[in-house]
C-alpha cells in the first residue's frame, strides 16, 4: 500500500514539474525580452530612414514585408488549389493521390536548412540569381506550402457534406459549388492558416540566410540581397555581438510573431465555435 | 441545370468549365508534390557524387574536417554526425518526458479555468522563432554555464538545453491530442477496478495513446535534428569529438563546443566552393536520409498500434 502511495505522489510530482517547467520557460523568455527590450527600444531604432546601416530596423521590416507578401501570392493560390483537389475531387483510393499526400506530408517534416540548401543550389547557383530577395521568396514559398495545404484541407473537411448536397440539388455544378458554397464556409480556417504561415515566414532564418543573404540595406529590387528581421536578429547577436540592439530587435520580432499567432488562434477558435 | 437542359450549347460550356477547373486543381496538387522530388533530385545529384569522390567511408567515419587545407583537404563528417545525434538524443530524453507529463496535466488535471490561458501559452511557445531561442541561449544559458561549469559556455550542454526547450511545444500539443482521443471507458474502467487516478492515467490511458505519443516524439526528434539557428548561436561550432571511449563516458563531453550537421552547412555554405561545397550537399543528403528514416520508422513502429487520434 505504501508503495502505491509513493508512486501516486511521484506521478503528481512529475506532472506538476512538467507544466511548471514549460510555463517557466515561456515566462523567462518573455520577461527577459520585455524588460531588456523596452529599455533599448526607441522610435528612431525602429522607424528611422536615414540611420547608419544596422541602426534602424526599417530596411529589415521592408524586406520582411516584401518577402511575406510575395511568398503568400505564390503559395496561397497554389496551396488552396492543391487542397481543393485533394479534398473535393480526388478519390482517396487512387495511387496518385496517395503519392501526392505522402510527399506533402514529407515536405512538412523537412527542416528549413534543407530548404535553404536547395534554394541556394537551385536559385542562387543553377539559375544564377545570386543572393537575392527573389531566391528567398521562391525558397520559402515551397516551405510554407504544406502548412497551407494541410490547414485548408482540414477547413474543407469541416464543411458539412449537406452543404454540397444542397448546392448540387439546386442545380449547381461542382466548380460553382466549391466557389460559392464550400470555400466561403471554410474561409475562417484558411485565413487562420495564412496568418500562421505569415508568423512562420517572419520567424524563418536558416532558409533565408542561405538564399536572401545578410545585406542590411533598403532593398532596391527583387534582385538585391537583403536581410529580414530574423536574419538581422542573428547577425546582430552573433557577428556584431551588440546585445542592446539585439534586445530591441528581439522585442519587435517577438511582438510581431506572437500577435500573429494569437490572431490565428483567435480565428481558429471562432471557427470551432461556429 | 435548367439552363443546361434547355440549351445544349450552354450545357457543353458548363462541362468545359468543370473539366478545366478539375484539371487546374489537379495540376496544382501535382506541382506541390513535385517540389519534393525536385528538392531530392538537386540535393542528391550534387551530394552523392561528392560523397563518393571523398570516399563514402572516409566521409562518414573521418574525424577531421579541414576542407580549406591547401594540399590535403579532409572531409570527415563524423564529429558533426556525432554532435547532431548526441544532442538530439539527450534533448529527446529530456524533452519527451517533460512534454508527456505536461500533456498529461493539460489533458486530465488542469482546472477548466486556467486551461485556456495555459494552452494558449504552450501554443505561443511553439510559435517563438528559433532565432529567439538562440538569443535566449546567448543571453542566459551560455553565461550561466560559463560562470558555473568548466569551458566557455558554448557547449554541447547548451545545445541540449536549448533543443529540449524547443521540442517541448511539439511534444506537448500532439501528446495531449493523443491522450484526449483515448476512449473515456479506458479511464473509467481502470477506476472501477480500483486503481487511483494517476495509476489509471499513467498505466492505462497513456499506453493506449502510445501510437499518437510516438508520433509526437518522432516529430520532436525531427525538429531537434534539423534545428539550425538556435544551435549555431550556442554550440561554439568547433568540429570535434571525444577521442577515446573513456573520454566519451566522462562528463567533459558536455562542456566541449560542438558543431552539428545543420550548423556545418549553414556556416560554410556562404564561402565554400568546388568539392567543399558539394560535400556540404553530402551532409544535406545524410540529414535528409535521417529525416526519411525517422518517418519510415514511425510507420513501422505504429503498424500494430491503434491510433485513436486518426480514427476519430
- B263 → chain A, closest CA residue: A113
CB contact under 8 A, A113 and B266: yes
Instruction: Tell which of A40, A84, A85, A251 to mutate to test the B interface (max B CBs under 10 Å).
Output: A85
- B133 → chain A, closest CA residue: A29
Query: pLDDT at position B1, please?
Result: 43
Distance (Å) from the C-alpha of residue A91 to the closest C-alpha of chain B? Answer: 12
Q: Which of A83, A145, A258 sits opposite B35 (nearest CB)?
A: A145
Contact A116, A207 (CB under 8 A): yes
pLDDT score of A224 more than 50: yes
Enumerate the β-bridge partners of residue B236: B258
Query: pLDDT at position A19, please?
Result: 92
Give me the residue spans of the domains in chain A.
43-273
Q: Which helix (H) or strand (E) holds A273?
A: helix A243-273
pLDDT score of A198 more than 50: yes
Distance (Å) from the C-alpha of residue A69 to the closest C-alpha of chain B? Answer: 19
- Using a pLDDT cut of 70, give the percent of chain A over it: 98
Q: What is the topology classification, in CATH, of domain B65-311? A: MetI-like fold (1.10.3720)
Q: What is the topology classification, in CATH, of domain A43-273? A: MetI-like fold (1.10.3720)
What is the average pLDDT value for chain A, to the nearest integer? 89
A241: left (phi over 0), alpha (psi -120 to 50) or beta: left
Measured distance CA(B184)–CA(B273) in Å, rounded: 59
CB contact under 8 A, A258 and B225: no
Enumerate the β-bridge partners of residue B258: B236
More confident residue, A189 or A92: A189
CA B152 to chain CA centroid, Å, is 27
Query: pLDDT at position B11, please?
Result: 57
Enumerate the β-bridge partners of residue B65: B75
Tracing cell 544596422 back to the chain, one arrives at A54
Nearest to A90 by CA among B22, B268, B173, B149: B22
Query: pLDDT at position B291, please?
Result: 92
Measured distance CA(A84)–CA(A76) in Å, rounded: 12
Measured distance CA(A102)–CA(A92) in Å, rounded: 12
Distances (CA, A) of A20 to A9, A10, A23, A41, B139: 16, 15, 5, 31, 22
Query: pLDDT at position B312, please?
Result: 46
Query: pLDDT at position B310, please?
Result: 61
Quickly state the pLDDT bin for A93 (edges 50, 70, 90).
confident
CB contact under 8 A, A258 and B124: yes
Measured distance CA(B75)–CA(B55) in Å, rounded: 9
Enumerate the β-bridge partners of residue B75: B65
Measured distance CA(A64)–CA(A51) in Å, rounded: 18
Distance (Å) from the C-alpha of residue B246 to the closest C-alpha of chain A? Answer: 33
> Mean pLDDT per 10-residue run, chain B (312 residues)?
47 78 92 93 92 87 82 85 93 94 93 90 90 93 91 90 93 93 91 90 91 90 92 87 76 87 90 88 93 86 69 50
DSSP state of B258: B
Give me the residue spans of the domains in chain B.
2-54, 65-311
Contact A179, A240 (CB under 8 A): no
Measured distance CA(B42)–CA(B39) in Å, rounded: 5
* Torsion angles phi and psi, residue B257, rounded to 5: -65, 150
Tracing cell 486503481 back to the chain, one arrives at B195
Torsion angle in degrees (nearest 10) through CA of B148, B150, B152, B158: -70
- pTM recorded for the entire structure: 0.90
- A256 → chain B, closest CA residue: B128
For A122-150, how does the pLDDT look when each residue is reduced to its tens digit (9 = 90+)? 999 889 888 899 999 999 999 999 999 99
CB contact under 8 A, B28 and A78: yes
Residues in chain B: 312
CB contact under 8 A, A122 and B102: no
Distance (Å) from the C-alpha of residue A14 to the closest C-alpha of chain B? Answer: 6
Instruction: Tell which of A118, A146, A197, A241 to mutate to test the B interface (max B CBs under 10 Å).
Output: A118
Amino acid at each position: 500500500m505504501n508503495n502505491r502511495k509513493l508512486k501516486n505522489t511521484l506521478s503528481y510530482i512529475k506532472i506538476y514539474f512538467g507544466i511548471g517547467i514549460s510555463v517557466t520557460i515561456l515566462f523567462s523568455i518573455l520577461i527577459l525580452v520585455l524588460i531588456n527590450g523596452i529599455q533599448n527600444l526607441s522610435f528612431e531604432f525602429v522607424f528611422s530612414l536615414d540611420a547608419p546601416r544596422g541602426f534602424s530596423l526599417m530596411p529589415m521590416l521592408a524586406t520582411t514585408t516584401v518577402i511575406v507578401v510575395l511568398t503568400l501570392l505564390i503559395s496561397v493560390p497554389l496551396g488552396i488549389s492543391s487542397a481543393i483537389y485533394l479534398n473535393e475531387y480526388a478519390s482517396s483510393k487512387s495511387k496518385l493521390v496517395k503519392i501526392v499526400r505522402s510527399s506533402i506530408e514529407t515536405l512538412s517534416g523537412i527542416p528549413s536548412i534543407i530548404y535553404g540548401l536547395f534554394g541556394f543550389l537551385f536559385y542562387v547557383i543553377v539559375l544564377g540569381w545570386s543572393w537575392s530577395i527573389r531566391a528567398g521568396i521562391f525558397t520559402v514559398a515551397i516551405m510554407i506550402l504544406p502548412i497551407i495545404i494541410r490547414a485548408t484541407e482540414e477547413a474543407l473537411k469541416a464543411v458539412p457534406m449537406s452543404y454540397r448536397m444542397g448546392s448540387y440539388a439546386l442545380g449547381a455544378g461542382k466548380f460553382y459549388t466549391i466557389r460559392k458554397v464550400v470555400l466561403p464556409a471554410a474561409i475562417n480556417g484558411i485565413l487562420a492558416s495564412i496568418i500562421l504561415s505569415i508568423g512562420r515566414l517572419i520567424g524563418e532564418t536558416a532558409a533565408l540566410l542561405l538564399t536572401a543573404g545578410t545585406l542590411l540595406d533598403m532593398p532596391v529590387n527583387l534582385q538585391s540581397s537583403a536581410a529580414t528581421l530574423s536574419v538581422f536578429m542573428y547577425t546582430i547577436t552573433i557577428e556584431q555581438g551588440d546585445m542592446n540592439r539585439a534586445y530591441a530587435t528581439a522585442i519587435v520580432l517577438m511582438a510581431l510573431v506572437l500577435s500573429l499567432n494569437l490572431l490565428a488562434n483567435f480565428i481558429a477558435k471562432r471557427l470551432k465555435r461556429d | 441545370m435548367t439552363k443546361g437542359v434547355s440549351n445544349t450549347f450552354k450545357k457543353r460550356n458548363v462541362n468545359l468549365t468543370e473539366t478545366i477547373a478539375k484539371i487546374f486543381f489537379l495540376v496544382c496538387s501535382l506541382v506541390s508534390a513535385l517540389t519534393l522530388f525536385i528538392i531530392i533530385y538537386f540535393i542528391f545529384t550534387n551530394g552523392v557524387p561528392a560523397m563518393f569522390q571523398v570516399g563514402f567511408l572516409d566521409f562518414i567515419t573521418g574525424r577531421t574536417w579541414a576542407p580549406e587545407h591547401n594540399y590535403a583537404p579532409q572531409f570527415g563528417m563524423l564529429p558533426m554526425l556525432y554532435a547532431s545525434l548526441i544532442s538530439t538524443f539527450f534533448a529527446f530524453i529530456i524533452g519527451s518526458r517533460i512534454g508527456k507529463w505536461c500533456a498529461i496535466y493539460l489533458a486530465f488535471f488542469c482546472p477548466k479555468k486556467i486551461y485556456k490561458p495555459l494552452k494558449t501559452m504552450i501554443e505561443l511557445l511553439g510559435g517563438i522563432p528559433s532565432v529567439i531561442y538562440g538569443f535566449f541561449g546567448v543571453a542566459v544559458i551560455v553565461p550561466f554555464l560559463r560562470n558555473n561549469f568548466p569551458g566557455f559556455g558554448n557547449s554541447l550542454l547548451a545545445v541540449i538545453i536549448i533543443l529540449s526547450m524547443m521540442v517541448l511545444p511539439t511534444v506537448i500539443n500532439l501528446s495531449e491530442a493523443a491522450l484526449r482521443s483515448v476512449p473515456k471507458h479506458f479511464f473509467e474502467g481502470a477506476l472501477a477496478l480500483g486503481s487511483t487516478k494517476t495509476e489509471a492515467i499513467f498505466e492505462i490511458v497513456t499506453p493506449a495513446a502510445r501510437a499518437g505519443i510516438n508520433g509526437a516524439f518522432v516529430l520532436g526528434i525531427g525538429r531537434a535534428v534539423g534545428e539550425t539557428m538556435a544551435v549555431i548561436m550556442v554550440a561554439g561550432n568547433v568540429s570535434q569529438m571525444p577521442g577515446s571511449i573513456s573520454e566519451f563516458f566522462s562528463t567533459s563531453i558536455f562542456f566541449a563546443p560542438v558543431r552539428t550537421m545543420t550548423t556545418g552547412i549553414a556556416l560554410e555554405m556562404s564561402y565554400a566552393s568546388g568539392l567543399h561545397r558539394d560535400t556540404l550537399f553530402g551532409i544535406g543528403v545524410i540529414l535528409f536520409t535521417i529525416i526519411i528514416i525517422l518517418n519510415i520508422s514511425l510507420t513501422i513502429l505504429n503498424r500494430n498500434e491503434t491510433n485513436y487520434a486518426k480514427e476519430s
